[in-house]
Structure 1
Amino acid sequence: MTAAPIVPELTLITVLVAFAGVFLICFLKGAFGGGFAIVGIPLLSLVMDPITAGGLLAPLFVAMDLYALRYWKPNTWSRPDLVLLVPGLLVGIGAGYVLFRFLDHHAIEIVMALVTMIFVGLWLASGGGVVIRPRSTPKAVAAGLASGVTTMVAHSGGPPLAMYLLPLGLTKEVYAGTTSLFFTVGNATKAVPWLLLVQPHGADLVLMAICLLAIPTGVGMGWRLHGLLDQRQIFRACYALLTVTALKLLWDGCTGYLG
């Protein structure tokens, strides 16, 4: 993958659309703890290509995560799950970097989309309730690994993590806090390889600085929404976002082959 400038031309439309996309991602991070960044990427893709959007977002994710931790404090982290998940995440990011540079990553998007849709379909078939399952080390390691690969390849590490955490029956605060810290580690790690793939300069840095202004309001408004929703509503919203994410991944993967 060759480096490319992040923003070919800094126009008012580019600034407004990028700001809106970053705000949406921050809002979802405040409401659900993270993992649904790909939902906001289509907005950025209106004014730049997806690789460019990824390069723009990589350092911004770190700022979003650090700010979100003021809401998702240590008492909202499930440490036993993070201990199992994070090592696989780090290995997955490294593997995702190799795949991104040397292999066709559209197949990963399609497979992840199909697996996510099956997961949501099984949840719907069971009546849409929360079926509590015990913690599993192999499942946690696999979820961390898959999340690392997909967060590096498509900024979409949320589905594998959600498929592991949602059935555990965590409270909505612990679910969101655990997700938030998980992606704080992941986004800080993948920022380095993303900045190697896409090297920002000049107007790119100006756009990043402008988008930073969306973080406090976006995260704060999302956190307030989280407080208004009960446990069942939060989990239903997570499954709905998983569906949207799966459809976006499927679209990206298929159009990548057609294009």
Structure 2
Amino acid sequence: MDTMTLWHLTGWEFAALAFAALLVGFSKTAVSGANTVSLAIFAAVLPARASTGILLPVLIAGDVLAVLTYRRHAHWPTLWRLFPAVGVGVAVGTLFLVWADDAVVRTSIGVILLLMAGVTVWRRRQAEAADASRASDSSEASDSSEASDGDGTSSRSGRVKARSYGVLGGFTTMVANAGGPVMSMYLLSAGFRKLGFLGTSAFFFLIVNVSKVPFSAGLGLIDGRSLLLDAVLVVFVVPGAFLGRWAVKRINQRLFERLVIAATVVGGLQLLLT
């Protein structure tokens, strides 16, 4: 596998990757799903297949920082419901990467980014409608509560929804490290508030991303040269995580999501048209 190394990059390319790594840290502790912009940057600067392997350790570093920040707010029953289906999705995604060449992966990442942008728009509108409904309910949950699945954890529809989102999330995270918007939509539809959302997603992606390492290494997407580049880029994840932790209670969520969606669409179109 022809992975990229630190020495292959121009100054502008390295600056773009460093910014993408900082955004990973920010998204993990503030706005989950914002790292789709990082995905687009990595895939634009690096070969598409190689970019997924190089980005993975950077994401894991962000996951570790998110877990350290929000570890008390995870909702484990939700995680255990998702993991079996996610495993199926990761396996399907691995088989896809065995078959697909760089051009197919690049196109797939572009399509996934555009799909996730549409999903994010739909999810935000659903969340706004849910917030309006909860505003009229005097028993509205606190910001740190971890809500259960709105369909009922024991209902058939709830199980079907968890399996569907789990398989799609596992596939998109294996093929393009783009499972964030899928899981964001699931957690919001299950009624999670901000801290419960961040804590549950932090543990989810740490466990899933670590489990993907053997698959990525077996496909040749991670090797000693790529890890050297990762070691440099991880330095930029840390300030991004601290910035996210500072901003999570201050950020204008609606404006930021609009910027993320716009950047994601531009990145997806760039990958499809290049």
| Class of the TM-score when normalised by the shorter of the 2 chains | 0.7 to 0.9
Does 2:35 correspond to 1:37?
Answer: yes
Deviation (angstroms), 1:72: 1.2
TM-score (norm 2): 0.76
Q: Which runs of 4+ in 1 moved over 6 A?
A: none
Q: Distance in 1 between matches of 2:27 and 2:3?
A: 27
Q: Distance in 2 between matches of 1:108 and 1:209?
A: 24
Tell me if the contact between 2:123 and 2:185 (Cα under 8 Å) persists in the aligned partners. no
Deviation (angstroms), 1:213: 1.1
Aligned pairs, how many?
247
- Once the two structures are overlaid, the 10-residue window that deviates more, 205-214 or 101-110, is 101-110
The residue that corresponds to 1:57 in the other structure is: 55
2:246 match: secondary structure: helix
Q: Deviations over 1:141-178 (max 9, x none)?
A: 21111001001111110222122111222120001111
Deviation (angstroms), 1:28: 0.9
Tell me if the contact between 2:60 and 2:206 (Cα under 8 Å) persists in the aligned partners. yes
Q: Say if 1:143 and 1:244 are closer, same or farther in 2 by CA, change over 3 A.
A: farther
Does 2:191 correspond to 1:169?
Answer: yes
Tell me if the contact between 1:143 and 1:164 (Cα under 8 Å) persists in the aligned partners. yes
The residue that corresponds to 1:187 in the other structure is: 209
Stretches of structure 1 lacking an aligned partner (at least 5 in a row): none
Q: What is the letter of the counterpart of residue 64 of structure 2?
A: L
Q: Say if 1:89 and 1:211 are closer, same or farther in 2 by CA, change over 3 A.
A: same
Does 2:96 correspond to 1:79?
Answer: no
RMSD, aligned CA: 3.1
Tell me if the contact between 1:35 and 1:183 (Cα under 8 Å) persists in the aligned partners. no
The residue that corresponds to 1:92 in the other structure is: 89
Stretches of structure 2 lacking an aligned partner (at least 5 in a row): 135-149, 153-157
Q: Say if 1:58 and 1:80 are closer, same or farther in 2 by CA, change over 3 A.
A: same
Deviation (angstroms), 1:18: 1.8
Does 2:269 correspond to 1:247?
Answer: no
TM-score (norm 1): 0.80
Deviation (angstroms), 1:45: 4.0
The residue that corresponds to 1:101 in the other structure is: 98
Tell me if the contact between 2:93 and 2:172 (Cα under 8 Å) persists in the aligned partners. yes
Question: % of aligned pairs identical?
Answer: 23
